[in-house]
């Protein structure tokens, strides 16, 4: 998949476009993108998606901007799994926000669309005044068809980014996975931490996710960690270090049975199962013993067994 930052970088032929914010790239989003790819393949066209690198509310009403389920990098990684030829992830700036609905539709022509696929509640143009019905009319003017998908429902209601955020904030990880279609992911560059885990015999890769990234409740999780093209079973802790408080909240990943040097490298962790809440221990030795138990529970949750058992 080719990642573009602006419509003017388009170097493909005629296309079928998936349009949306796609925060979380949940099952409804995935259905939409796959439909655009399917239509493109059937007609010998380029399949593409157009989205933004940040939530529009971060510019328009910062206080109302929700935490993101996917950072720009995570969104690109998830989108690539859905098979489009290109992802246009443009910056949502004041100039773009001011485009009228008609100007937005005209700008889409830079991507040479033959068709566009949108969700039932898709909005576009200044103030979000554009609707799927209006996009259909504008598409007739600019030479592209519009396909509108009905909502994908789970547990009696449409799957949405807001529902995923609410479930994540409550620690309902099974519901999060059911709506996303994949385990929730946390990624970032590995940075140097307190080195407390190393001192306890459990070295960790410390991540620094951006402040606008949505995180589940503090606690310990079984995870799969992807770094440098390798996948490792892991135990992950999100918290504030109540046993050795110093500094802000951290995301720490202990790789089971591996200790590669990942400083400065990108790591993505898929949270597969919640193991326990964060708690304070009476000593560092007690904390170390608990981490050992966490590691064994993570193995079980990930379907792993040890030869020594």
Q: What is the pLDDT of residue 24?
A: 97
From 141, 156, 171, give the residue that closes a domain. Answer: 156
Three-state DSSP class for residue 77? helix
Residue with the bigger pLDDT between 305 and 170: it is 170
Query: What is the rounded radius of gyration, in angstroms, for the C-alpha atoms of the chain?
Result: 22
Tell whether 38 and 126 lie within a shared domain: yes
- 309 — pLDDT class (breaks 50, 70, 90): very low
Query: Domain with 112 in it: what CATH number?
Result: 3.40.50.620
Q: What is the CATH number of the domain that holds 194?
A: 2.40.30.30
Please indicate, yes or no, if residue 40 is contained in any of the structural domains. Answer: yes
Q: Is residue 169 part of a domain?
A: no
Please indicate, yes or no, whether residues 125 and 260 belong to a single structural domain of this protein: no
Distance of CA 77 to the CA centre of its chain: 8
Computed over every residue of the chain, the mean pLDDT equals 91
When divided into structural domains, the chain yields a total of 2
Q: For the beta carbon of residue 300, count every other beta carbon within 10 angstroms.
A: 12
Task: Let me know: does 172 contact 64? Beta carbons within 8 Å.
Answer: no
CA atoms of 101 and 17, how far apart (whole Å): 17
Across 273-285, b (16+ Cβ under 10 Å) vs e yields: bbbeebeeeeeee
Asked if 54 and 188 sit in the same domain, the reply is no
The pLDDT tens digits of the residues spanning 246-276 come to 555 789 999 998 878 888 999 999 999 999 9
pLDDT at 308 over 50: no
Q: How far apart are CA 5 and CA 121, in angstroms?
A: 25
Q: Is 220 a domain residue?
A: yes
Q: Are residues 7 and 138 in the same domain?
A: yes
105-162 pLDDT, tens per residue? 999 999 999 999 999 999 999 999 999 999 999 999 999 999 999 999 999 999 999 9
Residue pair 25/75 in contact by the 8 Å Cβ criterion: yes
Same domain for 146 and 207, yes or no, is no
242 has a pLDDT exceeding 60 = no
Is 167 a member of any domain?
no
Does residue 28 sit in the same domain as residue 137?
yes
Q: Are residues 33 and 85 in the same domain?
A: yes
User: Same domain for 15 and 125?
Assistant: yes
Instruction: Give yes or no: residues 38 and 149 share one domain.
Output: yes
Does a structural domain hold residue 140? Answer: yes
Can you tell me the distance from the alpha carbon of 221 to that of 299, in angstroms, rounded to the nearest whole number?
A: 11
Beta strand pairing status for 46-52 and 86-90?
A: parallel
pLDDT in tens, 284-297: 777 788 888 999 99
Domain assignment present for residue 86? The answer is yes
Residue 13 and residue 131 share a domain: yes
Same domain for 219 and 134: no
Q: Is residue 217 part of a domain?
A: yes
Q: Determine the Cα–Cα distance for residues 223 and 220; give it in Å rounded to an integer.
A: 10
Flag whether 69 is in a domain. Answer: yes
| Per-residue model confidence (pLDDT) at position 193 | 66
Query: Are residues 100 and 228 both part of a single domain?
Result: no
Q: Tell me, what DSSP letter sits at residue 111?
A: G
Domain that holds residue 227: 184-301
């Amino acid at each position: 998949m080719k990642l573009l930052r602006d419509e003017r970088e388009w170097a493909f032929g005629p296309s079928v476009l998936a349009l949306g914010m796609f925060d979380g790239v949940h099952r409804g989003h995935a259905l939409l993108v796959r439909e655009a790819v399917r239509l493109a393949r059937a007609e010998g066209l380029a399949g593409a998606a157009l989205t933004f690198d940040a939530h529009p509310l971060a510019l328009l009403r910062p206080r109302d901007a929700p935490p993101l389920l996917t950072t720009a990098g995570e969104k690109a990684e998830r989108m690539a799994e859905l098979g489009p030829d290109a992802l246009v992830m443009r910056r949502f700036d004041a100039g773009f926000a001011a485009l009228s609905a008609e100007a937005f539709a005209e700008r889409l022509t830079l991507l040479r669309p033959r068709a566009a696929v949108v969700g039932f509640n898709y909005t576009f143009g200044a103030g979000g005044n554009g609707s799927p019905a209006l996009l259909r009319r504008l598409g007739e003017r600019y030479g592209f068809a519009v396909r509108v998908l009905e909502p994908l429902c789970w547990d009696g209601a449409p799957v949405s980014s807001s529902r995923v955020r609410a479930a994540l904030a409550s620690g309902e990880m099974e519901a999060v996975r059911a709506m996303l279609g994949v385990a929730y992911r946390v990624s970032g560059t590995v940075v140097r931490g307190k080195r407390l885990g190393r001192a306890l015999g459990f070295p960790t890769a410390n991540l620094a996710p951006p402040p606008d990234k949505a995180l589940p409740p503090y606690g310990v999780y079984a995870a799969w960690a992807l770094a440098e093209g390798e996948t490792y079973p892991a135990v992950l802790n999100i918290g504030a270090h109540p046993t050795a408080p110093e500094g802000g909240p951290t995301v720490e990943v202990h790789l089971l049975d591996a200790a590669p040097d990942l400083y400065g490298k990108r790591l993505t962790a898929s949270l597969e199962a919640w193991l326990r809440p964060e708690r304070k221990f009476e000593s560092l030795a007690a904390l170390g013993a608990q981490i050992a138990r966490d590691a064994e529970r993570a193995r079980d949750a990930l379907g792993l067994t040890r030869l020594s058992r």
